[in-house]
Structure 1
Amino acid sequence: MRRSAEAGRPADAVEQRIYSAVFDSVMAQRLAPGTKLPEAALCTLFGVTRSVVRKVLQRLAHDHIVELRPNRGAIVAVPSAEDSRQIFEARRALEAAIVALVAARATAADLQALREQLQQEQAAMHRFDQPAWARLASAFHLRLAELAGNGILQRCLAETVSRSSLIVALHEPPGNAPCEHEEHAAIVEAITQGDAARAAALMHQHLHALEQHLRLDRTVSEPSLAERLGLR
């Protein structure tokens, strides 16, 4: 009898590993909206039973990362244009509150860690590593939420950022950066100066600019096999 790859591990740890694998892949835009997530394939990849996979998919659906379609399985969620507008509206409000708290509470060590994160962003940008750039851009916003010291805001932002990543993957024109590095740097500088109002204003502008780059009226269709093979 084949031993499960996850045998001996606590059930919660196994489920979290699968959840994080999907969540992180969405954040890094490796899993595009509409991508199928077959239960059988996930069971094989993680060495778990269908009941474990279904439980994780239900969690992901609850967090709006996945859509569960009756009799057709799970796919990475595909936000509508109206969903997108509402999510960015909520995100601007959340992150304005977050950066104001960070400006008031951040320690010297926190600020140094943020600067180091910006250096990683810049390095990814210069080597044209789009997946790493997308992951680091999202990580910057999540790190700010962590530094704000408010667990409720942090959890709300984690969901909102993941849903934003889906929107960017679906609607952003090819070649655009998910976030502008210079705008992140300006926000950190305002936080360093303890200027909560300026940090909040810069974050609002930053997220508004990101939303404006999106082509929400663009029709997105499933690429044909020929397109996937570069023949069309």
Structure 2
Amino acid sequence: MKIAAAPAENQIDVSTHYIRDTIRDAIVDRRLAPGTKLSEADVGALFNVSRTLVRGALQALSYEGLVNVEKNRGAFVAYPSPEEARQIFATRRMIEPGILREAAKHIDPSHLQHLRQLLMEEGRLINERGQTARRAEIKASGDFHLMLASMTGNAVMQRFMDELVARSSLVIALYGQSAISSCGHQEHQDIVTAIERKDIEHACKLIVHHIDHIEADLDMRENRGSDLREAFRL
């Protein structure tokens, strides 16, 4: 049986989503620094697509707070102010203990196994050298928080945390100290140990302390822009 071709508008959606996700990954992985200009023409040339598709992707990223679209100037990777950075982490302190309490209602041995596997991968990456390993470590650190959100079974909460983690990565890219891990591996282990012991209130205190630690590592110094071709490895 033949499968009908997707309508043109669906094909556009797929292309736009791919461009959005690729740019998003480059931002979250810190391959694109805050303030980097995202020219529609340059991005379109890199992906070999029309500026219309690029514009849709950049607009979608602007809704997430990852890209700023400025009239008569174009699009730029968002450059969060120190106050925005504080608000992002203040929001995480309010939200993540609730996520943890909700996740605890659903966590089973398979969930704990997945968390431990993620921690093993995170630990392996910490011991590796090079920029690629560093970026993978940052992603694994964020994935820990996203995995906890996924265990709530609440799709809205998962999307919200996805945005918060992405914006946190942007803040860390701009203000983080390179000598310090973006997200404490040992603190993740302590949180999982508390969950395994069913001491959820202690786990909640640990996750707030953990977020405090991440924010304390920010030095509010500026970073430079990035090269688009290098960021997307095209």
Question: TM range, normalised to the smaller chain?
Answer: 0.7 to 0.9
Distance 1:146 1:11 in 2: 29
CA–CA distance in 1 between the matches of 2:223 and 2:109?
48
C-alpha distance after superposition, 1:86-105 (max 9, x if no partner): 11000111111111122221
Alignment of 1:1-232 (within 5 A): 10-128=11-129, 129-216=133-220, 218=221, 220=222, 222=224
Answer yes or no: is the 8 Å Cα contact 2:104–2:200 preserved in 1: yes
What one-letter code is carried by the residue in structure 1 that aligns with 2:203?
A
CA distance in 1, matches of 2:223, 2:122: 31
Q: What secondary structure, in the 3-state scheme, does the structure 2 residue paired with 1:105 have?
A: coil
Question: How far 1:9 moved relative to its partner?
Answer: 7.5
Structure 1 unpaired stretches of 5+: 1-6, 224-232
The two structures have a TM-score, normalised by structure 2, of: 0.87
Alpha-carbon spacing, 1:79–1:8, altered in 2? closer, same or farther (3 Å): closer
Alpha carbons of 1:175 and 1:81: their partners in 2 closer, same or farther (altered >3 Å)?
A: same
**Identical columns (%):** 38
How far residue 47 of structure 1 moved from its aligned partner, in angstroms, is: 2.4
Alignment length (residue pairs): 215
Displacement of 1:8: 11
Q: Does the CA contact (< 8 Å) of 1:42 and 1:53 recur in 2?
A: yes
**RMSD (Å) for aligned C-alpha atoms:** 1.7
The Cα shift of 1:194 comes to 2.2
Maintained 8 Å contact 1:39/1:50: yes
SS at match of 1:148: coil
Q: Is the 8 A contact 2:138 2:182 kept in 1?
A: yes
Q: 1:84 to 1:14 in 2, by over 3 A?
A: same
Indicate the SS of the match to 2:90: helix
Secondary structure of the structure 2 residue equivalent to 1:34: coil
Q: CA deviation at 1:221?
A: 5.9
Shift in Å at residue 14 of structure 1? 1.5
Q: Deviations over 1:156-205 (max 9, x none)?
A: 11111111111111111221110110001111111222222111111000
